[in-house]
Amino acid sequence: MAASLNHSLFLQLRNEVQSRYSLTPTDAWLNEFVTTTRNRPVPLASLASTAHFRLLSSDFTVSLLARGPQVFPINVSDVQTKDTKLSNNIPVQVLEIQDISISKWSQIEAIERVERGEEIRGREVIRNVPGINDDDDVSANNDQASANAGRSSSRSTGQSTSIVTGSSKKGTTGPHKLLLQDAAGTKAWAFEMSRIEKITIVNLNPPLPGAREVANQPQPEGMQIGCKFLLKTGTNVRRGLIMLAPESVAVMGGRVEAWDKKWREQRKARLTQELEKEAAG
Amino acid sequence: MPGQKILCVAEKPAIAKAVAQHLAGGALTTRNIQGNQYVKNYQFTYNFPAWGACEVTMTSVLGHLTGLDFDQRYKHWKSCPPSQLFDAPTVTTIETDKQAIADNIAQQARFSRILFLWTDCDREGEHIGAEVRSQALKGNPRIQVKRAKFSNTERNHVIQAARNPIDLDERQANAVSARIELDLRIGAAFTRLQTLQLQALSSKLENQILSYGSCQFPTLGFVVDRYYRVRNFKPEVFWLIKVMHKRDNIKVNFNWKRVHLFDRATVTILFEQCLDAKLAKVTKVQRKPTSKWRPLPLTTVELQMQGSRFLRMNSNEVMAVAEKLYQKGFISYPRTETDQFSGDFDLRGLLRRQLTHPVWGAYAQRLVGGEFKQPRSGRNNDQAHPPIHPVTMAAPTVLDANEKKVYEFVTRRFLACCSEDAKGEATDIEIEWGLETFHAHGLVVLQKNYLDVYVYDKWESSQQLPSFQLGETFELTEANMTDGKTTPPSYLTEPELIGLMDANGIGTDATMAEHIQKIKDRHYVQTRTKAASGRNQVQEFIPTVLGVALIEGYDNIDLDVSVSKPFLRKEMELKMKAICEGRKTKNEVVDESLTQYREVFIKTQRDIDALKQSVTKYVVNEGRA
């Protein structure tokens, strides 16, 4: 039997992935991995690295062991618990990202601009279509000050916030609120307490109407849904909200392509819906 | 005196008169010309270094001398399908009221050896110069042609220009004729199509020309775009933490570094975290000198923007008045993109001319007396004209109300440019409370400097901040979690519209105001005075149902780029520049642009129902489906 022949390799690999990456895959996942990559002998370290890479684009609720200390405590989302700390490293995946520093409306406006293939630099409207985009970097930032002058509280108007997020190339800077999920499938909200550079939403240009569906679509910059974090021991949780800071979370990267695609397709509709709900409430 | 004969031609009578007076030095004969009451011929003698003592006739045109129109057979609106106008033959015409002026030039040229052009030194002026030249050649095919390079009608400047003739810039003249041809063909084709198709939809449109212009529509597009942003806006609630500390009887409000967040639960948790911390700690106390920069030298776009913001005039009026002030010799040429003075520019000389002004003479004295500063330099130089500046002192008594306002603005701006920045001291105090950061900012203005004369800028001391020590901890007097609501953007104001047109290449500094006027005249937009206080009373633009209908109609046509967007026109504007720089010929540009717009035209014609539906929806049914 292949599995028993490789049993020691199997155990070695599991230990390696565990110790190097703090991830414990299920036997089933690791078995599958070993059988599909067994073709030629490779050093253990590179095998572990490949396993790690695969795990990052997997669904943690399927690929990781959902037992033991590596999942959220049961009361993680309990708002009655004022202040607690995670007592273990916990690998999680991102199911949702929201920038709560800008209004939903200006986020919708920014998405629509990208849909129209436009980008705003200062006062200039730019056609953001592959092939037409001229790259002269005329920064209109100087004008922006005067464009904003005369508005009293600049950030509370829908207008000025959308200037900040107007560009499709620059991602959001947050703070963000994220929905995280552990291997057991437990979900909990997290807040970006101090800036973590890798957490950013970048609006993606839709394929041009009529253009062929390109197989090699450029990967979106910024964070994608299914991205993996390792929450470190000692991470603060207040009233059920996980407080993220650069020192308490390692962003491992990765994505689950199908989730990300769906999330992007539905983002505008979701924002619109929430806005309507808010208006009605 | 036998000498040679020279014919000088300016763009407007006022310039001809001013130049003639400076060169003639008094011995001047003025003659009327037959058939036009505005244009005069001034005769005098002048000794040009290049040509020796000459008998000079100085005359002028009234702006463009010729026009471009379609051949007679295509002039009637129903004479041909509008699409034919893309290649219908055209003729250069002289309007009947300008025939006398053209004849005068041909007549005078007959006896002259040299034609010396004094048209304005910009693209239009170069083209007008070329028009004058072709008239002169009719009278004298061998006439030699030169032009004067000048940007104001101050005496020394004019004499310098007279002594240093240069050649006419054919490229600039060609760029203008390309633009004229494109505007004619594209404008006429779309205007006829729109008007013929849409007028019939409603008696409300019966007598209205639904004009199209490749600048007009993007201009209208900006207004409609903002209108929709205002109308579609949805307010949202946000939450924030407000803290106040009272010390030495001064209430200091600290602002939250996160400003506000659109998530109540998060703010509640953060606020609780703060409250748990009890004491706030001072993490930064910084006092540092700060300054408010004096403005850059004045360009046309800036004059129009600031004029419509501060002078209670619209940009079109501001430009008309500036033009008059220029013709009267009070200010320099008001169409310029340059925002830097060259090093050898005699700024002090210009300042000295303002010493006797009753209002700012004393301020000018301060500058001349030692406070003078070389102006800041911007990044633009059109290589044709300096920034707009006062040339001679105009006593308030010789100006009418609007002239006074514009002259005052130009002069105060110039004085401000030559002044020291305003100086102050800024205090920044940052406190940490829990894990949140808050800050207070204080400003003490120490020296107003340029602000003393440039009354349009505001920079005022804030309340005095009490003293805080770095590292000290204290209990805040007051802390609250509050909420607020986002507010919609405001309708587009005139300065904003000009800024958008400028940034997006719609029109030139010389024509922007006209395009804005045009969309008002066509009843595509209305303006109203935005509620504001004091000097700052600006016009805001709201589209009419017709304006909305046209833009939405075009946006619904399946075009690669809607004509309501600035992109096509911007491309055309860049091509004009290419002609000026010798990278493209006039014919190449005309062909390329016509091909582009012809395609848009064909699609528009095919999808004309989209435009009709939109007009029916908004104009006929007044918005009811």
pLDDT score at B200? 87
**HEC profile of B447-488:** ECHHHHCCCCCCCCCCCCCCCCCCCCEEECCEEEEEEEECEC
The model's pTM? 0.84
Q: What is the pLDDT of residues B309-340, one digit of tens each?
A: 899 898 999 999 999 999 999 999 998 889 99
- Angstrom distance (rounded) from CA B525 to CA B544: 5
The residues, ordered by sequence, that sit 6+ positions from A238 with a Cβ below 8 Å of its Cβ are A82, A83, A84, B269, B272, B273
The burial class, CB within 10 Å (0-12 / 13-18 / 19+), for B65 is buried
- Angstrom distance (rounded) from CA A107 to CA B264: 18
Q: Are A187 and A161 contained in the same domain?
A: no
Chain B residues within an 8 Å CB radius of A122: 503
Chain A residues within an 8 Å CB radius of B234: 104-105, 275, 279
What tokens were used for A110? 């920014």
Instruction: For residue A73, tell me if it sits in a domain.
Output: yes
Q: Are A45 and A119 contained in the same domain?
A: no
The burial class, CB within 10 Å (0-12 / 13-18 / 19+), for A212 is exposed
Average pLDDT along chain B: 92
- Angstrom distance (rounded) from CA B118 to CA B161: 9
Given a cut of 70, whether residue B477 has pLDDT beyond it is yes
Could you list the beta-strand ranges (E) of A49-109.
Answer: 84-85, 90-99
- Angstrom distance (rounded) from CA B236 to CA B227: 19
The burial class, CB within 10 Å (0-12 / 13-18 / 19+), for B98 is buried
Given a cut of 70, whether residue A139 has pLDDT beyond it is no
pLDDT score at A116? 82
Q: Are A184 and A88 contained in the same domain?
A: yes
How many contiguous H segments (helices) and E segments (strands) does chain A have? 9, 10
Rg of chain B's alpha carbons, rounded to an integer?
30
Contact A60, A91 (CB under 8 A): yes
The residue of chain B with its CA nearest to that of A278 is: B236
The burial class, CB within 10 Å (0-12 / 13-18 / 19+), for B305 is buried
Q: Are A117 and A43 contained in the same domain?
A: no
Q: Are A12 and A34 contained in the same domain?
A: yes
- Could you check whether B5-168 and B300-417 share the same CATH topology? no
Contact B117, B9 (CB under 8 A): yes
Q: What is the mean pLDDT of residues B126-152?
A: 94
The residues, ordered by sequence, that sit 6+ positions from B280 with a Cβ below 8 Å of its Cβ are B243, B245, B431, B432, B433, B438, B473, B474, B475, B476
Q: What is the pLDDT of residues B523-563, one digit of tens each?
A: 999 998 886 655 567 889 999 999 999 999 999 998 888 88
Q: Are A265 and A147 contained in the same domain?
A: no
Q: What is the pLDDT of residues A71-87, one digit of tens each?
A: 999 889 999 999 999 99
CA B446 to chain CA mean position, Å? 34
Looking at domain B174-232+491-620, its CATH class is mainly alpha
Q: What is the mean pLDDT of residues B271-288?
A: 94
Superfamily of domain B300-417: Topoisomerase I, domain 4 (1.10.290.10)
Q: What is the pLDDT of residues A27-65, one digit of tens each?
A: 899 888 888 876 667 788 888 899 999 999 999 999 998
Instruction: For residue A240, tell me if it sits in a domain.
Output: yes
User: For testing the chain B interface, which of A124, A178, A235, A236 should be mutated: the one with the most B CBs within 10 Å?
Assistant: A124
Cross-chain residue pair A123–B503, CB shorter than 8 Å:
yes
Q: How far off is chain A from B527, nearest CA to CA, in Å?
A: 19
Instruction: For residue A63, tell me if it sits in a domain.
Output: no
- Angstrom distance (rounded) from CA B202 to CA B237: 44
Q: Are A6 and A133 contained in the same domain?
A: no
Q: What is the pLDDT of residues A178-230, one digit of tens each?
A: 999 999 999 999 999 999 999 999 877 654 444 444 444 455 578 999 999 99
Chain B residues within an 8 Å CB radius of A103: 236, 238, 262, 486
Cross-chain residue pair A101–B489, CB shorter than 8 Å:
no
Q: Return the number of other C-beta atoms located less than 10 Å from residue B133's C-beta.
A: 20
Instruction: For residue A238, tell me if it sits in a domain.
Output: yes
Q: Which fold has domain B5-168?
A: Rossmann fold (3.40.50)
Q: In what order do the strands lie in the sheet with B4-10?
A: B29-33, B36-48, B52-60, B4-10, B114-118, B144-147
Which of these, A279, A281, A230, A255, lies nearest to A97 by C-alpha position? A255
Segments forming the whole domain that contains residue A40: 2-56
B333 catalytic, yes or no? yes
How many structural domains are present in chain A?
A: 3
Q: What is the pLDDT of residues B394-422, one digit of tens each?
A: 999 999 999 999 999 999 999 999 999 99
Q: Are A183 and A257 contained in the same domain?
A: yes
Q: Are A44 and A80 contained in the same domain?
A: no
Cross-chain residue pair A82–B272, CB shorter than 8 Å:
yes
Q: Are A180 and A263 contained in the same domain?
A: yes
B451 vs B156, more confident: B451
Options B333, B363, B524, B554, the catalytic residue: B333
The burial class, CB within 10 Å (0-12 / 13-18 / 19+), for B34 is exposed
- Angstrom distance (rounded) from CA B223 to CA B526: 10
Q: How far off is chain B from A171, nearest CA to CA, in Å?
A: 18
* Domain extents in chain B: 5-168, 174-232+491-620, 237-293+425-485, 300-417
The β-bridge partners of A166 are none
Looking at domain B237-293+425-485, its CATH class is mainly beta
Q: How far off is chain B from A101, nearest CA to CA, in Å?
A: 5
Q: Are A140 and A91 contained in the same domain?
A: no
